[in-house]
Structure 1
Amino acid sequence: MSTRSYKDAVEQLNTLQSNAAALDAVRASGGRLSEFAIPEMLDYLERIGYSPGDLNALNVIHITGTKGKGSTSAFADSILRHAMPRWKIGLYTSPHLVAVRERIRINGVPISEEQFAKFFFEVWDRLEGTEPKLSTTSPMPGYFRFITLVAFHAFLTLQVNATVLEVGVGGTYDSTNIVPKPIVTGITALGIDHVAVLGKTLKEIAWQKGGIFKEGVPAFTVNQPEEGMSMLKARAIELKASSLTVSPSISALSDIKLGLAGIHQQQNATLAAHLVKSFLESQTSFQGSALLPSSFVKGLEDAKWPGRCQTVSDPNRVNTTWYLDGAHTTESLSCCVQWFVSPGVGLGSHGEHKENSFRVLIFNCTSGRSGPTFLGSVQSNVSSQLKKYGRTENPEFFFTHVIFCANVTYADGQFKGDLATFSIATDDLAQLKTQRQLASAWAELVPQFPSANIYVLPSIEHAVKEIEKLQLNSSVKVLVAGSLHLVGGVIEVAGLSGIAL
């Protein structure tokens, strides 16, 4: 390439995305391709100049789960940074909200565009200059595998003291699961609704997640359904983890205002505290006589994880507040609505909600997920929350407007480079099939809801423009949910990056 800028790196990276047809083929294989995942990832690692043992220098806290793994990773990262202020802490997460470099952070800050481009093309060149050793390995890895390689390369080059490593998908066959000996591993909640969505039993999901256990390495988890817990225990024995501990509750947490909103974050914060405590006891002279020393408390209070139960007051639009949560399962949506429909958030004081104020839901979900079930969950949780707080308003009209829009960033049909996706079927995107299905589901759930207030829109920019029309002489509270890609697009289009990220 003639230039090697960040934009160039993102464009090259996007060529590694799987399109909708390829993803369908993987699903149709029933997971048979998974058995090659780790050997292929090790092949790529060797081709960029590293051995698996080199990754042990990253001093990894490895975290997986179906709910809360990103939040737990954010808590763990923040606690570590406050407990060890002179250390260099790496954090690898997915997906990103606005810029792909958000996935690779040093001391809480995404690596710069210049750094990302540098590390990206170093990996790219090494792969282009070598041949795969395995017959199943393609010359270039897919999108997530490539970014994982870039993250490993960046963290090793920058010589981090510790790394919080979030699993992408599953555990056993995940691209991050090539670190031979992490310091400690953690498994967050195993979501019941993932059983239906993924077409797997809870036992199968637990088997996948437990695949990050390593010989001689302590493991922590949270209270799990019996079937899932039994499998995790079996996996811990099979893979010879030194221990598997269900993180005991920490009573002092109830007195802390966590940096991440939502009652469900108590469990994630608890797990993170136990993971970091175990890590520090192993790697330093830290003595955990007090489970929550002041540095831990400060870390929990200062933790940030954009796009998860996040409140953002719009600096550009008068009386407009955005409530951002990428919840994309029925369980996470329940937590999202419980957070939003509460005093001080989307629910004002008695009598506050007047004719000149609006509550808007902007929603999207990936094709194949159960939109009607999701929206039904939203409605039922709105109803229960209003009852909980003694509110008499009709839950069917809690939202004054609902907007179902595609995850396309701009009104001209283009994506921001970092947000481009090829995973949506072309005909679905062109005809807005998913969004129309969602609109029909809402109309069936709430038959009396004004049809004029139900929008099906082709882009996020269209949705933001509708909000701008409403905010004239009015107060607008906007809940954005159902997709982290949607949340990231709203942050980008509405110009919220400076305060939201």
Structure 2
Amino acid sequence: MSTRTYRDAVDCLNTLQSNASALAAGKRLSDVAIPEMLAYLERTGYKPEDLNRLNVLHITGTKGKGSTSAFTSSILTKIRPDWKVGLYTSPHLVAVRERIRVNGKPLSEEQFTKYFFELWDRLEHNPRRKEDCMPDKPGYFRFITLLAFHAFLDLKVDATVLEVGVGGAYDSTNIVPKPRVTGITALGIDHVTVLGKTLSDIAWQKSGIFKKGVPALSVDQPEEGMVVLEKRAEELGASRFTVTPLLSGLRDTKLGLAGEHQIQNANLAVHLAQTFLDSHATVELTPIIAAGLAETKWPGRCQTVVEPTSSKLTWYLDGAHTVESLDCCMQWHATPAAGLALSSTRAEHRRVLVFNCTMGRSGPSFLKTMLTRTESQLKLVGSEENADTYFDDVIFCTNVTYADGAFKGDLTAVAIPQSELTELTVQHQLEQAWKELVPSFPSESIHVVPSIEHAVNIVRRISESAPSTGVLVCGSLHLVGGVIEVAGLADVAL
């Protein structure tokens, strides 16, 4: 047999993605999600109790869970440099192996390939299924979750920061019998409008990670959600439920992640880390913890990257893809620290927006949120600019990586109907929404293109004729990852 490569692993993994028609037909019933995940775990040779050896800090929420996970991992690594600290997150930006990290570094291609095919082969050699309706192999996210467990167990990590994928109660990560501590970041309203759920529904789902005898922590939440969290913590037997108070001095502490909203995430991370290390210790912002917060890296979230080949082109990368996160994005971008950095030379400076979203119907509300926040933020910082002219060009593109219609292997997405990609359905919806929201915007400055490579090429042409250009890329982490790949930013952004 020829040597199996990283590309082979990625190609096999991509066969586990659900296509558009399968997603439209509906997901597996939630009440069988955990039993099915446990069945797959058993087929790979593990028992649920084995996962307790990972010493898990389990984190969920509507927004900020990835950033909080990154802060928590950085703090633990700083406090215990002798430890191996695992970090499992989703999605990835450029390479799928980014989802599984040890001490902040993704698995190497060799490690990922090794662990992938060990798991793949175990499933191949043990095809027995408890229910005939179960697929032979788990879906994409389930498989990567099992892969993370397998890798971390083999590497004998001392702690594992485990980010929930979606929800909580029925999420693939929620098969660890007894994590060491659980945490919930901000609960938002996005799922209320998108999925027709109430905030109470969302709180019930998220609190499904609470476990008997395990501390449960949360940021301050809207009252409707907080009532549910408190009740569920009692029902599920959490050893205590704590709303984390803001640590003294945190607002004056330098954070490795930009944006006002990161203060709340960093605060929860400190509480999680210190509870993990000693559930009875007084939580304090010590110098070593402050250093961990300052050194935290989380690419693609309120990130500023100067073009490696030209200092006159600056990329502002934020994978914000919900109403609330896009609001935070513009709160960050429309400030002198980011998009207004060159406002003194506004006549010569060009601002470009590169945008896409995977749910076309949400596009108009997303763009309206961005414009509304931009207007209020400009007034707040005393700028004479206005939202309608904040951007000089807007580019709406698909998440297809290359101009020839191909995806980078790690960025392949089969869940988008081919007709949408061919006809640029979502992109034209975004174009129409922008024209209605900003009627005065020049039509020639609105670009609808079929790939990320097309968008990057337009940006480069614009930057060639301007003394300085700033480009905000947002609306999709997949889009941000594609830009990093196509624009050659990996060495400076990741």
- Normalising by structure 2, report the TM-score: 0.98
Quote the residue 1:326 is aligned against.
319
Q: 1:242 aligns with which of 234, 239, 244?
A: 239
Partner SS, residue 177 of structure 2 = coil
Deviation at 1:369, TM superposition (A): 4.2
Partner SS, residue 403 of structure 1 = strand
Deviation at 1:137, TM superposition (A): 2.3
> Distance between the aligned counterparts of 1:476 and 1:141, measured in 2?
45
Deviation at 1:254, TM superposition (A): 1.1
Q: 1:61 aligns with which of 57, 61, 67?
A: 57
Quote the residue 1:279 is aligned against.
276
Deviations 1:122-167 (A, max 9, x none): 0000001111123342210000000001000000000000000000
Check if 1:215 corresponds to 2:208.
no
> Distance between the aligned counterparts of 2:484 and 2:311, measured in 1?
16
Check if 1:72 corresponds to 2:68.
yes
Partner SS, residue 251 of structure 1 = coil
Q: Is the 8 A contact 1:36 1:136 kept in 2?
A: no
Map residues 221-240 of structure 1 onto 2, 5 A cutoff. 221-240=218-237
Quote the residue 1:494 is aligned against.
487
Quote the residue 2:432 is aligned against.
440
Quote the residue 2:184 is aligned against.
187
Q: 2:39 aligns with which of 14, 38, 43?
A: 43
Q: Is the 8 A contact 1:404 1:439 kept in 2?
A: yes
> Distance between the aligned counterparts of 1:67 and 1:297, measured in 2?
22
Q: Is the 8 A contact 1:324 1:479 kept in 2?
A: yes
Q: 2:173 aligns with which of 169, 173, 176?
A: 176
Quote the residue 2:23 is aligned against.
23
- Normalising by structure 1, report the TM-score: 0.96
Deviation at 1:194, TM superposition (A): 2.1
> Distance between the aligned counterparts of 2:441 and 2:474, measured in 1?
20
**More displaced 10-residue stretch of structure 1: 66-75 or 467-476:** 467-476
Deviations 1:393-423 (A, max 9, x none): 2320110000000000000000000000011
Q: 2:350 aligns with which of 358, 361, 369?
A: 358
Quote the residue 1:89 is aligned against.
85
Deviations 1:154-193 (A, max 9, x none): 0000000000000000000100000000000000001112
Partner SS, residue 163 of structure 1 = strand
Shift in alpha-carbon separation, 1:164–1:290, aligned structure 2, 3 A: closer
Deviation at 1:257, TM superposition (A): 1.1
Q: 1:264 aligns with which of 258, 261, 265?
A: 261
Quote the residue 1:343 is aligned against.
336
Q: Is the 8 A contact 2:63 2:186 kept in 1?
A: yes
Shift in alpha-carbon separation, 1:322–1:293, aligned structure 2, 3 A: same
Partner SS, residue 291 of structure 1 = coil
Q: 1:477 aligns with which of 436, 452, 470?
A: 470
How many residue pairs end up in the alignment? 492
Q: Is the 8 A contact 2:360 2:429 kept in 1?
A: no
Deviation at 1:374, TM superposition (A): 0.6
Quote the residue 1:98 is aligned against.
94
Q: Is the 8 A contact 2:270 2:283 kept in 1?
A: no
- Amino acid in the other structure paired with 2:84: K
Q: Is the 8 A contact 1:210 1:235 kept in 2?
A: yes
Deviation at 1:316, TM superposition (A): 1.9
Q: Is the 8 A contact 1:327 1:483 kept in 2?
A: yes
- Amino acid in the other structure paired with 1:437: Q
* Structure 2: tracts of 5 or more residues without a match: none
> Distance between the aligned counterparts of 1:242 and 1:137, measured in 2?
36
Deviation at 1:351, TM superposition (A): 2.9
Quote the residue 1:454 is aligned against.
446
Quote the residue 2:203 is aligned against.
206
Q: Is the 8 A contact 2:248 2:285 kept in 1?
A: no
> Distance between the aligned counterparts of 2:386 and 2:160, measured in 1?
48
Partner SS, residue 351 of structure 1 = helix
> Distance between the aligned counterparts of 1:250 and 1:5, measured in 2?
47
Deviation at 1:107, TM superposition (A): 0.6
Q: Is the 8 A contact 1:318 1:471 kept in 2?
A: no
Q: Is the 8 A contact 2:274 2:283 kept in 1?
A: no
> Distance between the aligned counterparts of 1:190 and 1:269, measured in 2?
16
Quote the residue 1:7 is aligned against.
7
**More displaced 10-residue stretch of structure 1: 135-144 or 489-498:** 135-144
Q: Is the 8 A contact 1:43 1:134 kept in 2?
A: no
Quote the residue 1:128 is aligned against.
124
> Distance between the aligned counterparts of 2:150 and 2:406, measured in 1?
31
Q: Is the 8 A contact 2:212 2:237 kept in 1?
A: yes
Structure 1 residue ranges (4+ consecutive) displaced by more than 6 angstroms after TM superposition: none
CA RMSD between the two structures: 1.2
Deviation at 1:295, TM superposition (A): 1.5
> Distance between the aligned counterparts of 1:129 and 1:123, measured in 2?
10
* Structure 1: tracts of 5 or more residues without a match: none
> Distance between the aligned counterparts of 1:275 and 1:385, measured in 2?
32
Q: Is the 8 A contact 2:393 2:445 kept in 1?
A: yes
Q: 2:415 aligns with which of 410, 420, 423?
A: 423
**More displaced 10-residue stretch of structure 1: 382-391 or 440-449:** 382-391
Deviations 1:285-318 (A, max 9, x none): xx84561112211100000110000000010234
Deviation at 1:368, TM superposition (A): 4.3
- Amino acid in the other structure paired with 2:420: D
Deviations 1:28-53 (A, max 9, x none): xxxx6111111111111111110000
> Distance between the aligned counterparts of 1:16 and 1:317, measured in 2?
40
Quote the residue 2:459 is aligned against.
467
Shift in alpha-carbon separation, 1:369–1:68, aligned structure 2, 3 A: farther
Residue identity over aligned pairs, in percent, reads: 64
Q: 2:291 aligns with which of 291, 298, 315?
A: 298
Shift in alpha-carbon separation, 1:124–1:73, aligned structure 2, 3 A: same
Quote the residue 1:52 is aligned against.
48
> Distance between the aligned counterparts of 1:425 and 1:317, measured in 2?
37
> Distance between the aligned counterparts of 1:480 and 1:369, measured in 2?
20
Deviations 1:361-382 (A, max 9, x none): 0000013441111111111111
